[in-house]
Structure 1
Amino acid sequence: MKISPVEDLFTVFNETATILQEELSCTYLEALAETGENFFQQSILQEELSELTVKRLKKSYENFNLNKHTAEDIRKSYQLAILKGMKESVQPNHQMTPDSVGMLVGYLVNKFVKKSSLSLLDPAIGTGNLLTTVINYQTDKQIEAIGIDIDDLLIKLAYVNANLQEHSIQLFNQDSLEPLFINPVDTVISDLPVGYYPNDVRAAEFELKATSGHSYAHHLFIEQSVAYTKEGGYLFFVIPNGLFESDEAPKLHEFLNEHTYIQSVLQLPLSMFKNEKSAKSILILQKKGEEAQAPKQVLLASLPSLSKATAVEKILQQIDEWMIENK
């Protein structure tokens, strides 16, 4: 049986990460970041390894040529290794956007953003899986990408992920809701971190701060993203289905109506999620500006299971028709 390039790559990432994990007494994810860096630099950077370990690693690295693989194959295999590591040490902020959602967001960015060169921001980049998937789907476009995350391990994995795929991404390891040292961008994508934001002092500076108690982080992320988007720019958010049902929802609705045009809400298939409570949708906004205009009607659709090719084809056709009518 022929092994796919993704399986082949995953095996090398996994074996070398496991060797480093044992030798350095660190977590699998930390070891994965280390081995990814070794791959990219084409040398073994850890000085404290035994001679035997260096030999074993060298053998694995030398038998492998990353240049023979596509960015998508590298991303998928690295993602599989990250998922393995996340199963070992489950942390609430260590969740990865499913591949099919990343591909769909990539497709939508391609459809909506017609620029040949664009700046792209993910304010909650995590391991970089969503951002690099979207970049891989922007064929023939010049991308200037920026990613921000407060978690230093996730940002290190994102850095290695970007290097291995040879994507130039500017990374910032900081709280994304603090002031950002970046210029406004053409497009924002984000699988919104859902929950409460603990910093009430900083939250008080946002329009979408809670009336009482902690503010919703996902609301503040939307406001922050809109603030750092150019006029007429697009924003693509993976949102919880209940986003517009909370006590703070009327305030969010008012904010969106004032600053953006809602273009579309696409409900992701329920089969993708453990239960109805954790189900999500994709929200597409356009920031108001001279070039921006409200669609004749907002595109609302429930996506079928992404494994049903004919049904998916039908929905994509519907999106195409909507774009012709509304643009």
Structure 2
Amino acid sequence: MLGDPYASRLIQRQTDAANLVFDIIHRFDIDCEGVQTGYVQSAHAPGLLPKMEQRCGYYQSLGKATRMLDREEVARLTGSPRYYGGWFHPEGGHLNPLGYSRGLARAAISLGARVFTQSAVTAIKAEGTRWRVETAKGSVTADKVICGTGAYTNGFWPGLEGSFSRLGVAVMATQPLGDNLRKIIAPNNNTVVDSRGDAMIYKYNKEGRLVTSAFVEGRRGGDMAYTKVLMAKKLQWLLPDVPEVDWHYYWLGVLDMQPKTIPRLFNLAPGIVASLGYSGRGVPTGTMMGTVLAEWALGAKPEDLALPLEPLRAAPFYMNFVPRLFLAWYRFNDQRLARAGGAAPPPF
């Protein structure tokens, strides 16, 4: 999609993004439940293992210590008997994103930055050779402006809000699991993601709660009671050792989706750029993009950046509905692949 040299630069930064996140956490002593215990992607059907082996090999070719997992090892690492193998990336991890963002703000303040909360930007206007960033209660004048508002972009720059589509996500956390269960389910505190297009994801927080998520689609996500029942069935089918699921916490967010699913770097005007379209990969990708944006702000030539500066483009019209259609297709294809491999599909 990008061609060299941008492709090689972006791949290098993106595949090192997890290490960058945890380096920042350690460097600034950020309290965000961050643990770099590794990432497990598990195959819900036997036919997916060759594709995983290829992906694992790509990472190995970049110097990463990834490795394939057989069925027994995946069962041990995930606590689920439903998988047929998978692969492991030791540099993966998980954290509390709110704690991480607050820690980043504190780190920036410690280095001299000024942070203004509760100050939504309403407009950006030229003021001589500089730019005035306006809010309801005040403004900031700057030589350069970075727009990093993602899915929460609210119309402060013409056309920027139309460069992506929004996809809701519901996130839930169970009751704290006891020590005996935690020795069985994800005993190494890995992040577990399965191979379904409509993926099942789970990880622990510091209280021992399993945290999982689902894309919002109709009643799923929109109807809290229905979603809790559905997700409890999914989790109990996946993890039979969990006797019951009591969702103590439930919250919603929004993702900025765009067709390429890789970050975009839009040149809005001389001295103004926007970076968004992370398509659900916000923590590592947003952190990595911080290095690109810093280089731009410090005067790097566009041809030396890790991503090309491109003119602002509207997302294709089909992005208004295709992500939700894909969810239905993914579920159908997930079931088809499972049945083709002789795997029992989930009962929902």
> Which one has a larger percent helix, Structure 1 or Structure 2?
1
- TM-score normalised by L of structure 1: 0.24
- TM-score normalised by L of structure 2: 0.22
More RCO (CA 8 Å, sep 6+): 2
